Chains A and B, each alone.
Chain A
């Protein structure tokens, strides 16, 4: 692929050069991942032609993660309610637990937890699928047939994540809030109607759109990283495993770092 035809750097002879090579490699990798994702975005108009593949990716992303997202979301809300509720009880402010749970879920924990699950479950699968295709020359075969691998393989995956990440985030927010409600009712003696009223009153539009914006960014990052790792795979089966591992690690780091900066910009 054209993105991977750059010349190799000269061999390093000392630790400083080695550090420099590593840094250049990381920056180059981030640049290539961004270029791939932008090219995949550009081909949005080909999505109707790729509807079968797009549908398959939507199903993979949504259905396969549904169970784990449900469990994680519900327990995240329960843990949040329990921890903050116990602290608030010391000041007889346990009624406020709904405000904290719903705002934390929508602003931070909903998109964050959803993105982590998608990176681990879907991002690694994308990297492994495309990586296997790369090492078994299927990607080269597509290129030779004048089929753009980015449009053929990445565009459906990118748009599936761009759609499903916000959808699953909303689901996580709702389920987390319900988890908090269960704990508030059973352990904090906050009546569920009070909890629901406080949750609705404290939830502003900004909490919702910042959370959804984060989900959109995380979906973009996961697909960019995973597809880049897949296309860059070398060294057979070992390389495929390595691509999946690196996808999860890199995505986690980007999700954490970008999550902080998006919050910092909006609040």
Chain B
């Protein structure tokens, strides 16, 4: 479905992506982990054409997405929804208006049809009580759920999650994890999740990839990922978990 082939990206003197390659299959949840500043969010932005690589190729359904403009780019992006790190809700709109925005702007659906779609996704993310509130009037967790509702309202094939649990308490983080899992199970959505949180990564990911110094140093299912021989991977895992927990994942 998605192929990243030898992608390089630099900002000035700083090389952020140094030849990363991986693929994504339909219905899969790929979790990208790694320390801050290793290019995880930049990778996501490349997937939807918000950034262009300096070198390499990205294909979606067998076609290169590089250099797409106008209608072609709009068509590509209609396959994607994205939950941004900051939720990226428009401050002057209510939760309901934010969620309806993609349909209001890009479809010819009637108000009644849009309202029905909004009701559907609001129930899915359990935000019934907050629909009339503005983003500044709701908690961080509710903002994330509203962002998720907006990301899925257009029924995209792929949803990208940029740090979906950052800044949330453990209970809310697990709630978001469950939502991501239910998106995959109920809607069959392909997901790419960028996170620091290995607990999330192991509970929602079909495969986990680790970026370090702009390269993919390990990629595989959680059970294989924890057994990685790469030193930085083991260091990253041990910084978050005890040996007993890791054994639990392997078993």
Contact = CB atoms under 8 A, between A and B. Distances in A.
Given A5-B51, A137-B88, A144 B12 contact: no
Given A140-B45, A141-B88, A152-B105, 11 more contacts: A8-B12, A136-B86, A138-B89, A138-B90, A141-B150, A144-B81, A144-B82, A145-B101, A145-B102, A145-B106, A146-B102
Contacts of A141: 82, 84, 88, 150
B74 A146 contact: yes
A44 B105 CA distance: 16
A236 to B, nearest CB: 11
A140 B13 contact: no
A189 interface: no
B105 A147 contact: yes
B231 to A, nearest CB: 32
Interface of B: 10-13, 45, 48, 50-52, 54, 69, 74, 77-78, 80-82, 84-86, 88-91, 101-102, 105-106, 150, 154
Nearest to B50: A140
Given A5-B52, A8-B12, A144 B106 contact: no
Contacts of B89: 138
A39 interface: no
B81 to A, nearest CB: 8
Contacts of B54: 7
A147 B102 CA distance: 8
B26 to A, nearest CB: 20
Contacts of A133: 90
Given A141-B82, A144-B82, A136 B88 contact: yes
Interface in A122-167: 133, 136-138, 140-141, 143-147, 152
A48 interface: no
Nearest to A11: B13
Question: Interface extent on A, as a size class?
Answer: 10 to 19
B80 A11 contact: no
B86 to A, nearest CB: 5
23 contacts: A8-B12, A11-B13, A136-B86, A136-B88, A137-B84, A137-B86, A138-B90, A140-B88, A141-B84, A141-B150, A144-B50, A144-B77, A144-B80, A144-B81, A144-B82, A145-B77, A145-B101, A145-B105, A146-B77, A146-B78, A146-B102, A146-B105, A147-B106
B246 to A, nearest CB: 34
A5 B86 CA distance: 22
Nearest to B89: A138
Interface in A1-59: 2, 5, 7-8, 11
B88 A138 contact: yes
Contacts of B12: 8, 11
Interface string A163-179: 00000000000000000
Nearest to B45: A140
A136 B88 CA distance: 6
B14 to A, nearest CB: 10
A145 B89 CA distance: 12
Q: Which of A2, A133, A137, A143 has the most CB of B within 10 A?
A: A137
A145 B152 CA distance: 11
B103 to A, nearest CB: 10
Contacts of B91: 138
A145 B13 CA distance: 31
A168 to B, nearest CB: 24
A138 B48 CA distance: 15
B101 A147 contact: yes
Nearest to A8: B12
B217 to A, nearest CB: 27
Contacts of A5: 51-52
Nearest to B78: A146
Contacts of A137: 84-86, 88
A146 B103 CA distance: 10
Nearest to A49: B105
A26 B52 CA distance: 23
Contacts of B105: 145-147, 152
Nearest to B105: A147
A11 B48 CA distance: 29
A143 to B, nearest CB: 6
Contacts of B50: 140, 143-144
A138 B69 CA distance: 20
Contacts of B78: 146
Contacts of B51: 5
A7 B86 CA distance: 27
